Amino acid sequence: MKNSNLIIKSLAAILCLTGLHTKTMANFNPVKPNNFIFADLSTYTPKETMAFYEAAFGWNFYESDGYYSAYQGQKEICGLYETPEKFKQMQMPHFWMSYIQVSSVAQTVEKARKLGGIVEMVEENAMGKVALIRDPQGAGFTVYEGDQLSHTRTLNEAGTLIWNELHVSNAAKVIPFYEGIFDWRFEEQGYGAYQIWNSEDEHIADLMEMSNKDKGKYEYWVCTFGVENLPKTRDKIQILGGTVVSEEDFRILMTDNSQQAFFYIQGI
């Protein structure tokens, strides 16, 4: 099976905690900058975790050099890898990582550092360039420069990544950072909610300002996966060992069977 995401395997040794929509939009061109394109999952227990997502979403996983790519039929969905031992010893949680396409990793890294971000690593190989960055509140994400990484976010397909949302405790501390590195625009909606718009006036993500009581102690980007039947999928995930964190009319925030990796499911 063709694996277009081997670059991600090189990140596993230095990955750190990242991060957690009321509307979705069309796919973006894979080379269009400053948009979300991909996600993968760090887990202590790949075998058990893959079994969970296979049952929950109908994915099939294919392994290459220790990295697992999830497919739905012939369509690539996301990736998965085992958390490195040193990070297990640090008791880092299982987590989903969001990937953002950029025109220049070097320029993005330079801007991130100037604006108070932390650059965990920069990597380059035949697949392209990547950098792991934390915003000033600690939410992590990966930026990618190149055209080899699969662009898997969709408009409204069941079982696929359809949205990304940032959960932070203080929006004012991170909005200038993201405006500066991605040229994003934030529109306040009230009650701590913000819409995130790219430079072409496309609504591409959301931000939610939340207390630690509601979101936990970490700041993070959350992935949303589309489902055909929201209540049925929720019940299935709970039977498989996942948990409900919060419910809204159109989406549910859940964890997988690790009780740690957050994600939304949203009816399509």
Domains of the chain and any CATH numbers: 6-267 (3.10.180.10)
Chain centroid to CA 67: 17
Q: What is the rounded distance in angstroms from the CA atom of residue 37 to the CA atom of residue 31?
A: 9
Whole-structure pTM value: 0.88
CA 60, 75, 166, 100 torsion: positive or negative? positive
Walk across the sheet containing 203-209 and list its strands. 185-190, 193-197, 203-209, 161-168, 220-227, 262-267, 251-255, 243-247
Q: Specify whether the CB–CB gap between 82 and 44 falls below 8 A.
A: yes
DSSP code of residue 93 = P
User: What angle do helix axes 46-57 and 230-239 make, rounded to 10 degrees?
Assistant: 150
Task: Write out the chain's pLDDT in tens, 268 residues.
Answer: 333 343 343 343 333 333 323 333 333 344 589 999 999 999 999 999 999 999 999 999 999 999 999 999 999 999 999 998 887 988 889 999 999 999 999 999 999 999 999 999 999 988 899 999 999 999 999 999 999 998 999 989 999 999 999 999 999 999 999 999 999 999 999 999 999 999 999 999 999 999 888 888 889 999 999 999 999 999 999 999 999 999 999 999 999 999 999 999 999 9
Rounded alpha-carbon distances, angstroms, from residue 205 to 11, 36, 112? 24, 8, 19
pLDDT at 7: 39
**Residue 253 · residue 264 · CB < 8 Å:** yes
**Is the distance from CB of 166 to CB of 206 less than 8 angstroms?**
yes
What is the predicted pLDDT for the residue at 15?
A: 34
Nearest to 183 by CA among 122, 85, 107: 107
pLDDT score at 4: 38
CA distances from 200 to 38, 115, 181, 203, 221 (A): 20, 23, 15, 9, 22
Question: Whole-angstrom Cα distance, residue 26 to residue 154?
Answer: 6
| Residue 10, pLDDT score | 34
Give me the pLDDT at residue 16, please. 33
Phi, psi of 181 (to 5 degrees): -90, -25
Residue 82 CA to residue 102 CA, distance in Å, equals 26
Would you state the pLDDT for residue 3?
A: 39
